[in-house]
A and B are shown apart, each in its own frame.
Chain A
Amino acid sequence: MLDPAGPAAETIARLWWIMLAGGGAIFVLVMALLLLAFRESGAEAGAGARRERVWILGLGLGFPLTVLAALLASALWVGERLLPRPAPEVVGVGAVARQWDWRFTYDDAPGRVTRGVLHIPAGRPVDVRITTEDVIHSFWAPRLAGKIDAIPGHVNVLRLEAWAPGDYAGASSEYNGPGYLGHGFIVRAHDPEAWRAFLADAPT
């Protein structure tokens, strides 16, 4: 996920680096305050009420509330952008998980079923409708997007997009029994020509 190959994964990776920097700064601040308490000069002066104001109202309440409000707002904005909203050019595919393989269907090529390899066009948003025939699984292609679970009786939709043609590893990411480790798949992104060829059922 730190090596994104699509817009969704890139947005999340950027979010991570920002949070890491912010979190690191907060950690250093807290540790500095903690260690300063042990300095030789001993007890710092100040009345009890003022001390409570600084430590509890300021640092305990004010500081996290400010930081968290900012973080929440940006996270909500990012999350909304990642949702599968109707848009032109969106390609629809289906993914059905079971112990332990993946089968994929294509709205643009009814009747086509591929096992273990999900074909998508590069550079276009793809909505994957995910469900399962048996236990809970999770669809995760880390370089392209986050994950979403495959739950019996429910269909979940995940938006993903690959910038460039190529093979991207995917895996089930919810423990599903002894075959869990090998329960992977490949997302194969095609250039427009190869995608047309795939839909026309030519060998790719």
Chain B
Amino acid sequence: MSAIRLHKALGRVWASEPGWRGWLTTVNHTDLGRMFLFVAALYFVIGGILAMLIRAQLASPRSAFMGPEVYAQVFTMHGTIMMFLFAIPLFEGVAVYLLPKLLGSRDLAFPRLTAYGFWCYAFGGAMLIFALLAGIAPDGGWFMYPPLTGPIYAPGINTDFWLIGITFVEISAICAAVEITVTVLRCRAPGMSLDRMPIFGWYALVTAVMILTGFPPLILGSILLELERAFGMPFFQVAEGGDSLLWQHLFWLFGHPEVYIIFLPAAGIVSTVLPVLARTTLLGYGWIVAAAVSLGVLSFGLWVHHMFTTGIPHMGLAFFSAASTLVAVPTAVQIFAWIGTLWKGRPALRLPMLWLLSFFATFVIGGLTGVMVAVVPFDWQVHDTHFIVAHLHYVLVGGFVFPMLAGLYYWLPHLTGRRRFFRIGEIAFWLVAVSFHVTFLAVHWAGLLGQRRRTFTFGPDDAWSLLNLVASIGSFVLAIGFALVILDVLVNALIAARGTRNPWGAGTLEWAMPTPPAAYNFASLPEVADRDPLWADPDLPVRIARGEGYLAGAERGRREILAVDVASGRPVQVVVLPGNTALPIAMSAATGGIFLGLLLKTYWLVPLAALVVAAMAIRWVWCLGTDADAGPQAVGHGLRLPLASDSADPPGWWGSLFLIGTSLTLFGSLLFGYAFLWTVAPNWPPPSYLHSGWASPALAGIGSLLACLGIRLAQRRLRRGRLPLVPLGAVTAGCGALVAAAVTVMAGTSHDAHAYDAVAWVLAGHAILHAGVPGLMSLVVLAAALRARLSAARSGPVHVLRLWTDHAAAVTVIGLVAIWLPGWLT
């Protein structure tokens, strides 16, 4: 078949709907990647405008431009927007757009989930922007320390917008992270073993796993603080057994990994772009992978370095200080590997390379000041001054924005299919590169002189008066520079001449397709035998287009990709992906209903919206099943593979596995919080413990046994070709018993009496949710069994259910025992 006919056939199957409906119903990663990038850029502009307001206010002493209340909203929202609505979603956008192309796949593992995540991001972000425009935006600083953000000192709705809006947005981060993890592990080109994977794939994998383990503590913290604000559950109020330090631990357990979650994707871009522009290969691929992984691990061991001034014993601080400086080592490995790569090759000073050079200069300074503030005594002085503000801008702008701009200019021809013609970008680069240092070197110095961050003005006699004027002037030039970058991208995207394919002479697969890319990426999936397939075989793009790879065209009239073995990249399944659907946007709107109900305290809306979400979720998974075993499918080159829906571990099983990992991190954080309050909070132990009696523990024991045995029996029966109706019923009953046991905990305690009681309620609520979900799932699987949608081959749903059942039994029993144990012992 000719390339053109293949293109037409694939286009019919993969294309999004025409017109505006296409935006709402698309599940295609190229579309959604662009949407993520566009919305993230929009938030960057909004956050940038807020930054300009701050610098305008601080340009002159005793400025009457903003009062302290407005200023508090502005600096809180600047930090919040840049962190949660710009940096993380920009990574998601880059990964969503690029990963399948780099990995030689046609789409991500869960296209509808990508769309659902995007709409959660869009709706959650809109809530925060609404608060900003209405003048009721959060105002407690982007890290929201209680008690200042608690019900007593912040009674208004401002803080609720943060807690609820950000949690809503974080759904999208979790979705994207599950998506990225499963895609990198399972949806690569045939033959692309892990050691042949493009380096960005490794960085994306580490980042995604970090999101899965780093975000749960913050989500938990937000839930606890919102529960305290809405229902008086005293997690952070010292008089009732809470402790405000718990928030700081939970926040920075998230907050520090967050910095590396932001940096690592940018480092992935440096590792991808820099060797191509130096016309060589990356020096020390294995070392860089090891460095990225160890950064990911180490970053979870240094959250306390944001808390050096909270009175933690000095030897405890010494440990975290050591960890914080140690984290500089894998960073140094990467920096020197990159410079070594430049020495190895013949670097060309093109525009992306300029941005990379600016990245080096800025990020190295940020890293050095980072080591300085990791030194405990020095931090005692500069903590909460403008020195920290300057340091974090060096790290985040230098370590994230500049590499992202290098990436933007590197992949712009890919996004647009055009060649840059207007050379505004070079002027913009010099404006940004120079004025950034003018601005933030001045801010460093102002901090050293004693200017505290978050003070809304200063007197004319303060030593930092002139420095602030310098910083403000610098920042306005900086803003002009960024505006010119946007202008440059816009004019070159809209009216520049069409360019050639692979303008940089890169070796990775994203350049093996015509640009801008078609919805299906590859007309056939290439067999990969090298880390840089395009250098190994320059004719590869033509052979792909001619359909010489796997799954050429769309013969079966549906969207198909390959799933591969995790390590070797050997193809093992054909995954049929869903087509265009409005289900994701509808479901995220319904999810928004839950959050809106909580925000506006119209609590009747919450269960209603949750019911709608559950109904949609059932419809969501129901579409994945089939009525009969399809048998092996021909994928080309004489290979026949089973469908994912005919397999024991479809992508949904892998997704569940990682989602459960995330859930366990949240549960672990909750147990950590309980232990922390018990040992550190002043007003412990509580006046009385819950005495469980024997009935509730027996109920929990029987329930977990019934559920765990039932699901195993169901698996066995199904393997022998029999429908496991009774065992599935046992799972339902077991989950019901677990829920009932948890309800007795709530009945025996008063949620707002003491932090112990409040924790008991949260653990019980957690158990109800996590046992209720598999209970509901077992009913769905039961229905599937009755409709003959299960068989020995089509057993995926039962395996997925087993993951969730075991998880439910574990967290319910452990959580309830943690509450009952003190009562048993006294």
List chain A positions with a Cβ less than 8 A from chain B: 1-2, 9, 11-12, 15-16, 19, 23, 26-27, 30-31, 33-34, 36-38, 42-44, 51-52, 54-56, 59-61, 63-65, 68, 71-72, 75-76, 78-80, 82-83, 99, 134-136, 138, 142, 145-149, 151-154, 156-157, 171, 173-181
Q: Are A76 and B318 in contact (CB under 8 A)?
A: yes
On chain B, the residues within 8 Å of A179 by CB distance are 68
Within 8 Å CB of A181, what residues of B?
Answer: 68, 455-457
Inter-subunit contact B368/A174 (CB<8 Å): no
Nearest CB in chain B to that of A81: its residue: B377
Does B65 belong to the interface (CB within 8 Å)?
no
What are some 7 contacts across the A-B interface (CB < 8 A)? A11-B377, A23-B368, A44-B343, A54-B340, A55-B339, A152-B238, A181-B455
Q: Which stretch of B39-47, B112-120, B161-169, B326-334 is in the interface?
A: B326-334
Q: Which A residues are CB-close (under 8 A) to B339?
A: 30, 33-34, 37, 55
Interface mask (B308-347 → A, CB under 8 Å = 1, otherwise 0): 0111001001100110011011001111110110111111
Is residue B361 within 8 Å, beta carbon to beta carbon, of the partner chain?
Answer: yes
**Cα(A42)–Cα(B280), bound, Å:** 12
Contact at B371–A60, with CB atoms within 8 Å?
no
Within 8 A of A (CB), among B356-411: 357, 360-361, 364-365, 368-369, 371-372, 375-385
Chain B residues near A12 (CB-CB < 8 A): 377-378, 380-381
Q: For B238, list chain A residues within 8 Å (CB).
A: 152-153
- Known contacts A64-B328, A146-B309, A147-B384; decide if A51 and B336 are in contact (CB<8 Å): no
**CB distance B148 to A135 under 8 Å?**
yes
The 8 closest A-B pairs by CB, nearest first: A146-B380, A55-B340, A153-B238, A156-B311, A37-B342, A60-B333, A23-B368, A59-B336
Within B140-156, which residues are at the interface with A (CB < 8 Å)?
A: 140-141, 145, 147-148, 152-153
Question: Which of B16-24, B265-273, B445-453 has 4 or more CB atoms under 8 Å from chain A?
Answer: B445-453
A73 → chain B closest CB, angstroms: 10
Which chain A residue lies CB-closest to B384? A173
The answer to whether B60 has its CB under 8 Å from any CB of chain A is no
A153 touches B681 (CB 8 A): yes
Task: Say yes or no: A149 contacts B336, CB within 8 Å.
Answer: no
B69 within 8 A of A: yes
Residues of A within 8 A of B314 (CB): 79-80, 83
Q: Given A15-B377, A79-B377 in contact, is the A68-B329 Cβ separation under 8 Å?
A: yes
* Most-contacted residue by chain B among A19, A44, A78 (CB, 10 A): A19
- With contacts A38-B342, A71-B325, A79-B317 known, is A60 near B377, CB below 8 A? no
CB of B333 within 8 A of CB of A43, answer no
Given the complex, which residues of A lie within 8 Å of B72, measured CB to CB? 175, 177-178
A168 CB → nearest B CB, Å: 11
A178, B311: Cβ atoms closer than 8 Å: no
User: Within 8 Å CB of A83, what residues of B?
Assistant: 314
Q: Which residues of B are found within 8 Å of A82, using beta-carbon distances?
A: 377, 380
Could you tell me the distance in whole angstroms from the C-beta of B351 to the nearest C-beta in chain A? Answer: 15
B479 at the interface (CB under 8 A from A): no
Cβ contacts under 8 Å, A61 to chain B: 329, 332-333
* A60 with B335: CB separation less than 8 A: yes
- A19 near B284 with CB under 8 A, answer no
Most B Cβ at <10 Å: residue of A31, A145, A147: A147
**With A15-B377, A146-B309, A151-B311: A60-B145 Cβ-Cβ less than 8 Å:** no
Residues in chain A near residue B328, CB distance under 8 A? 64, 68
User: How many whole Å from B519's CB to the nearest CB in chain A?
Assistant: 40
Closest to B452 in A: A173
Q: Contacts A12-B381, A64-B329 hold; do A175 and B454 have CB atoms under 8 A apart?
A: yes
Name the B residues within 8 Å of A1 (CB-CB).
381-382, 448-450
Interface size class of B (residues with CB under 8 A): 35 or more
Minimum distance in angstroms from B681 CB to a CB of chain A: 7
What is the bound-complex CA distance between A154 and B238, given in angstroms?
A: 9
Q: Closest B-chain residue to A172, C-beta based?
A: B452
Assembly CA distance A76 to B317 (angstroms) = 9
User: Which residue of A33, A145, A179 has the most chain B CB atoms within 10 A of its CB atom?
Assistant: A33
Is A52's CB under 8 angstroms from B311's CB?
Answer: no
| Residue in B closest to A177 when the chains form the complex, CB atoms | B148
Q: In the bound complex, do residue B364 and residue A178 qualify as a contact, i.e. CB atoms below 8 Å apart?
A: no
Complex-state Cα separation, A43 to B357, whole angstroms: 18
B377 close to A34 (CB less than 8 A): no
Q: Which residues of B contact A23 (CB under 8 A)?
A: 365, 368-369, 371-372
Which of A147, A157, A176 meets B309, CB within 8 Å? Answer: A147
CB <8 Å contact, B284 and A52: yes
Question: Which residues from A are CB-within-8-Å of B346?
Answer: 42-43
Cβ-closest chain A residue relative to B68: A178
Partner of B368, one of A2, A26, A99: A26
Contact of B360 among A2, A11, A31, A54 (CB under 8 A): A31
Task: Determine the chain A residues whose CB is within 8 A of the CB of B284 once the complex forms.
Answer: 52, 55-56
B177 within 8 A of A: no
**A146 to B377, Cβ gap below 8 A?**
yes
| B245 contacts A by Cβ under 8 Å | yes
User: How far is A46 from B287 in the complex, measured between Cα atoms in Å?
Assistant: 19
Question: Which A residues touch B377, using CB under 8 A?
Answer: 11-12, 15, 75, 78-79, 82, 146
Complex interface: chain A residues within 8 A of B384 (CB): 138, 147, 173-175
A81 to chain B: closest CB distance in Å?
Answer: 9
Please state if A153 and B335 are interface contacts (CB–CB under 8 Å).
no
Known A-B contacts A68-B371, A76-B318; the reply to A30 vs B360 at CB < 8 A is yes
Chain B residues near A151 (CB-CB < 8 A): 244-245, 310-311
Give the residue among B148, B291, B377 with the most A Cβ atoms within 10 A. B377
A28 to B377, CA, bound (A): 26
Q: Do residues B340 and A56 form an inter-chain contact, with CB atoms below 8 A?
A: yes
B349 at the interface (CB under 8 A from A): yes
Note all chain B residues with C-beta closer than 8 A to A52: 283-284, 287, 340
With an 8 A cutoff between CB atoms, is B560 at the interface?
A: no
Partner of A30, one of B335, B340, B682: B335
B243 interfacial by beta-carbon distance below 8 Å: yes
Q: Is B683 an interface residue (CB 8 A)?
A: yes
Enumerate chain B residues within 8 angstroms of A78, measured Cβ to Cβ: 377
